[in-house]
Amino acid sequence: MSDVDVSTSLFLADVENNPQPSPYLDAMQAARQSGAEYWQIWNLLAFRPKLAHHLARMSHEIMFEEAPISPALRELIAAYTSSLNHCTFCMKAHAAVAAHLHGDETLVWSVIRDLENSGLPEMDKALLRFARKVTLDSGSIVADGMVPLHAAGWNDTAIFYATTACALFNFYNRWVSANGVALVSDDAFRSLGARMAQKGYNRD
């Protein structure tokens, strides 16, 4: 049923073929043994385990730990940001995480396709509009840009999380696309996304 070629290579052979001892190498080997699909971002993480460690800790803090914005909404920011950057892998992965957390796949995809006409609450839309600006035009953000967010009921800590989650995915989108990380099947996105929704980003 898979409509994608999961054997597609990363652009950088030396990166793909040099996984270092790490939780990501373990995860790849476990997936291969059980015949499960896995996402190639693990190859990138296994190539530089020290960087991966910092990145995973940071991502876990930003996306998963307690914050004034729910993990569901933070994952929606991740998926929406990824759609704006045309990173299909991150968009599908984090749409799957967000769908698991929201319990509503249709809502998640309606936001990605057309935020304004989606059924998302107005308060949440305000945060996603801000994420759009952070992604596409951060150089023009001025203090007045905070007014609609405060008016919608968000405090500065919430805006910090929205900004940082969005900025983090501006990293991941470029990292993933420039390395040629391949898509997996929709079923694999769902099952890997469900794991991430439950356990977060740390693996060591």
Which residues are within 8 A (CB) of 97 and not within 5 positions of it... i.e. 6 or more apart?
Answer: 75, 78, 79, 193, 194, 196, 197
Cα torsion angle, 137, 142, 144, 146, sign: positive
- Is residue 7 involved in binding other proteins (CB under 8 A)? no
For residue 116, how far is the Cα from the chain centroid? 21
- Single out the segment in contact with other proteins by CB under 8 A; choices: 28-36, 45-53, 106-114, 190-198: 45-53
Give the residue with the Cβ less far from other proteins, 6 or 107. Answer: 6
Among 6, 180, 190, 203, binds other proteins (CB under 8 A): 180
Render 141-173 in DSSP notation, one character per residue. Answer: --GGGGHHHHHTT--HHHHHHHHHHHHHHHHHH
- Is residue 65 involved in binding other proteins (CB under 8 A)? yes
**Cβ 155 to other proteins shortest distance, Å:** 10
Contact 125, 116 (CB under 8 A): yes
- Is residue 174 involved in binding other proteins (CB under 8 A)? yes
**Cβ 104 to other proteins shortest distance, Å:** 27
- Single out the segment in contact with other proteins by CB under 8 A; choices: 12-20, 112-120, 121-129, 190-198: 12-20
Contact 31, 38 (CB under 8 A): yes
- Is residue 168 involved in binding other proteins (CB under 8 A)? yes
Cα(21)–Cα(154) distance, integer angstroms: 42
User: Would you tell me which residues interact with other proteins (CB under 8 A)?
Assistant: 11-15, 47-48, 50-51, 54-55, 57-58, 61-62, 65, 85-88, 134-135, 138-143, 145-146, 156-157, 159-161, 163-164, 166-168, 170-175, 177-180
